[in-house]
Structure formats: C-alpha cells, structure tokens
Amino acid sequence: MRNKNYIFLLTGMLLIGGSCKKFVDINEDPNNPTSAQLTLLLPSTEISMAANMYQLNSGTSTIIQQTVWSSGISRFQQQGTDYANSWDGFYSQTLNDLETVIKTGTEQQQWGYVGIAKLEKVYLYSLMVDMWGDIPYSEAEKGSVTTSPPLEKGAEIYDKLLVLLDEGMADINKITATTLVPASSDLFYAGAKNSWLSMGNSLKLKLYNQIRLVDPARSATAIRTILSSGAPLIGANTLDFTFRFGSSQNPNNRHPWHRAEYQSAKTFYQSQSWIDLLFNADDPRLRAFIYRQNATAGLNNGANSNGYYGRNPGDGTAAPADQTRRSTFGIYPAGGLYDNAAINNLPASNLYLTNTGATATLKVVAVTDGTGAGIMPLLTNAMVKFIRAEAALTLSTGDDARANFADGVTASLNSVSTYSTANGGVTIPAATITGFVNRLLVQYDAADAAGKLRLVMTQKYIASYGNGMESYTDYRRTGLPVLRELLSPLSTFPLRLYYSQTELSSNISFGANASAIQVAQQITPVFWDK
C-alpha cells in the first residue's frame, strides 16, 4: 500500500528489548547489499502491530463499555479519523514489513522467520476483517505496482488466511530445533517452536469458532478435528500470545493507557457499567483493573460514594474539572497501581471483593506511579478455554463446556494475580480463586442453555480486558454480555468500524461512492455476523 509516514510509534517503542533500532535494516555486507536483516525486522513487526492497535483497542473498548476514550464513540458516532492511525499503520508498517520477512525469509530458506511472519499476518488480517469487514488484501502490499488496492470480501479473505495459516505451521515444522529464531528476534515467544505451534492451532480454533453462525457444519468439523488431533493449544498462561510493553520513560515504551492516564492531563474515563458489573459480582479483579484516585468520589463527580467514579455509556455532557478524582486504569493490564485501599460501602455478603488486608492510601496518580510495563492480551489461555466452551455449547463439538468454563475463569484470575504480584500489587489468594470459580459453577449448573452461554461470554468479556477488539467481535456474534443502554446515543450500534479517511481520499478503487461506503459501515454486518 502507499508509503505513509509512521504515525503512532515513538522512538521508545522501537527500542523495546534493545533489539529493534529500525523498521527496515539493510545488510551492509557488499556481497549482499539489499538483504533485509530478519533478526531486526521481525521484532519490529511485532512492535508496530501492538503499537498501532492503540486507537483500535481504545475505541472498541469504548464501544463494548469497558472504558470511555471518546465521547463520540461512546455514543456510537464514528468519524474517518477515529481509527485512521491504526489502519494506516497496519498497512504501511506492520503488513508491509511482514511481506518483506516472508519474501526474504523464503529466498533464504529461513523458515522460522517465514512461519512466524505468516502466523502474525493471519492474526492481523483476520482482526482487520473482524473490525472493518471488506478490506484490501491480495493487492495490498505490492507497493508502486498497485497504489489503490481494491476491497476484497471478508469471507474470501478468511478462506485465504486459513490456507496461509496451514502454510505457516508447515514452515515452522520444517525446523527440527526447538527454537525457530534467536530469542531477541521474537518478542512474543523468544523463538520457541512449540509456543508458536500452540498459538497457530489456537488461532485456527478461534477463526473457525467465529464463522460458526454462517457455516456451523464446517466449524464443528474443523474444531472437532483440532481437538481430536492432539494438536497443541494455548493451554497454560505461560503460552499466552501477549505483547509486553516496557517500563522505560525515556525513551517511553510503556503501555499506551499508562502513558495517557498517569499524568496530569487525562484522556479516559472508566465505564461505569464496567465498574458496576465487577463491583456487583463481588469480583476480586476489580482492584487490579481499576484504580480510584479518591475514596469518596462517585458518578457525576459526586462526593459521597465509594471512589469508583466513571462515566455512563453514552453520556454526552461536558467533563467537569475532575481529573484528580475520576477512576483510572489499575495495575492490569496498563501497568498502573493496584488499588488496595478500603472500599467504604462493600456489601456485607461479599466474600471475594473485601477490605481484608486493604491498608493502602489512595492518591492522584503521576507518571512515576506503577511500572507502565503493561500487557496487551491478544490470544490467551483463558480466551481459548472460553472459545472451547462456546463451541461445545453451540456446535456440540464433544468438548466439556463446563470444565472449559471453569478453567477459563481460573486462568483469568491466575493471570491477573501473577501479573499483579510481579509488578508491585497484591496476590489473589488461591482460596479466593477457587471459591469464586465454584460459585460461578453453581450458577452455571442451575442455568439453561442460554444462561450457560451468557455466563461463558460474560466471563470471557471480563477475562479479555485490555483487548476490546476481541469483545467487540464476540458481542456482534452473540449479543453478549448484556450492555447498558446509552444515555444519549447519536447513532446505532456500529456493526463495522469506519475506514481511515486517508484511505477513502487516496484509494481510487473506492470510487465515487466512497462516502456512501463509509456510512454503510455502521449498519453492515461482517460476514460472520448472521
């Protein structure tokens, strides 16, 4: 696609791990003057993919009511600039460089690089189909040969991606060693072969589950084959496909939510519906997800509440002078502070969200608070377990939906606890995790089929916090979890995201109907949304 300026990445993001000084680094050997240096280029694609997700992740997290990044998006009003940086960055940086890795790696028979790049390409393109529906694909990365690549149907792209996914797995299996590439060249798995195979199989599981409404027989057959084959899946939190940000301030490679909020001028509100969901469910993860800056602040900047001051979805009123009072991101996933202060109005019946051991004092957050070394959970053990539970309930795959539901909740709580412990927070006691899961299982056992699915998707929604894109896709497929009615909507729930305005203006293949195509995005389902 067109050669655009780098949009989001700051210099610090390119220095994560000290291994990524340039996006495209040319070998200076006079005997091989034009060979891209794969050891530097592959990790650069991983960095740019995560960094360019900032707009996309923040916007979708707003749509599905976990945060409020934009008042307009909170009210379902889209603009062509909302996700332009993500769209433009994916095409001009990440996907362009992935094509270089695949081409050069194939020429050099560096199959570890090729296999990883293909799996990353499948993940990113499938995500873009999920967000935008029809997108440029086959002609997208041909540079000056095709400067205005046409849109292709999302269903057709999915079919091509499933083929590419198998090719990438085959490339990985050409490597007999346990390590595909040097550890410094892979920020996700340090080159571990088995980890990438687990990710690839889990990604295939995810994609087939996502098309279950439009082709249930195909989905069921494919998922049964994956499960019966013994193919490795992401089955432990240590195998999570998660991007890890750094803790440096200069250059700044911290989680973008930490960078936006742990300063005097703040961008976000926390969604009140999200806070209330966790608070009312006696969910111990609330203390890790949300940090209160004030112990008595409340909705609409009140002064007689419990400090959980967010904003209701669809609230179009102007923001008051409340930046030192509103709740903000906690330790997970943004790398901020763990809220271990007393909560003044907890129900006496609470068992897991309690004031036991809550001895901290709240404060107005600053750039020096927390580590900023947050994470972006892209495809995790918890997500895989919930996908398996959903498929079992809806496709009769023969899998154990109940066991996967329990394992998914357990994986989420353990992940939050482990991260919190390692970053200066508090460990969730094992008894709390077991008790919380068992209480959910009582609800699960008492529920009918629809109720079981509602529990599965609600817990996946909570476990996917930090990845609004996943929950946005799930909600359009299932209508779950139940979201709060907007106070003042400006449009209908967006079934697709708006295209980048830059793309509409410069890609002549959109034709004279570019504006109509943009408007249709709001009400046109993605192909798997039946």
**Distance in angstroms (rounded) separating the CA atoms of residues 286 and 307:** 13
Percent of the chain with pLDDT over 70: 93
Confidence class for position 143, pLDDT limits 50, 70, 90: low
Q: Is the Cβ–Cβ distance between 529 and 131 less than 8 Å? A: no
Q: How far apart are the first and last CA of the chain?
A: 31
Element (H, E) at 416: helix 401-422
Q: Residue 15: is its pLDDT beyond 60?
A: no
Average pLDDT over residues 138-152: 83
Diameter of the chain measured on Cα atoms: 74
**Distance in angstroms (rounded) separating the CA atoms of residues 512 and 104:** 38
Say what the pLDDT of residue 146 is: 77
**Between residues 33 and 137, the one the model is more confident about:** 137
Say what the pLDDT of residue 42 is: 98
User: For the chain, what are the domain ranges?
Assistant: 1-191+495-530
Say what the pLDDT of residue 111 is: 98
Give the model confidence (pLDDT) of 219-237 as tens digits.
999 999 999 999 999 999 9
Give the model confidence (pLDDT) of 285-320 as tens digits.
999 999 999 999 999 999 999 999 999 999 999 999
For residue 448, count other CB atoms closer than 10 A to its CB: 8
Q: Residue 458: is its pLDDT beyond 70?
A: yes
Amino acid residing at 3: N
Average pLDDT over residues 257-282: 97
Q: Is the Cβ–Cβ distance between 487 and 314 less than 8 Å? A: yes
- What is the average pLDDT score of the chain? 93
Burial 176-196 (b: 16+ CB within 10 A, else e): eeeebbeeebbbbbebbbebb
Is the model's pTM score more than 0.85?
yes
Q: Residue 20: is its pLDDT beyond 80?
A: no
CA count, 13 A, side-chain hemisphere, 466:
33
Q: Residue 132: is its pLDDT beyond 80?
A: yes
HEC-encoded secondary structure of 165-210: HHHHHHHHCCCCCCECCCHHHCCCCCCEHHHHHHHHHHHHHHHHHH
Q: Residue 479: is its pLDDT beyond 80?
A: yes
Average pLDDT over residues 495-519: 93
Confidence class for position 144, pLDDT limits 50, 70, 90: low
Give the model confidence (pLDDT) of 93-112 as tens digits.
999 999 999 999 999 999 99
Average pLDDT over residues 490-508: 96
Q: What is the DSSP letter of 90?
A: I
**Distance in angstroms (rounded) separating the CA atoms of residues 411 and 237:** 7
DSSP 498-530: PPPHHHHHH-GGGGGGHHHHHHHTTTPPPTT--
Say what the pLDDT of residue 147 is: 81
Q: Is the Cβ–Cβ distance between 319 and 267 less than 8 Å? A: no
Strand, coil or helix: 125: helix
Is the previous residue joined to 481 through a cis bond, with omega within 30 degrees of 0?
Answer: yes
Average pLDDT over residues 201-211: 98
Burial of 148 (0-12, 13-18, 19+ CB in 10 A): middle
Which range has the worst mean pLDDT, 20-34, 152-166, 172-186? 20-34
Classify domain 1-191+495-530 by CATH architecture. Answer: Alpha Horseshoe (1.25)
Percent of the chain with pLDDT over 90: 90
Residue whose token pair is 């090719």: 167
**Continuous H helices in 84-192:** 84-89, 96-107, 111-132, 154-172
Q: Is the Cβ–Cβ distance between 316 and 75 less than 8 Å? A: yes
Question: Which residues have a Cβ under 8 Å from the Cβ of 166 and sit 6 or more positions away?
Answer: none
Say what the pLDDT of residue 472 is: 98
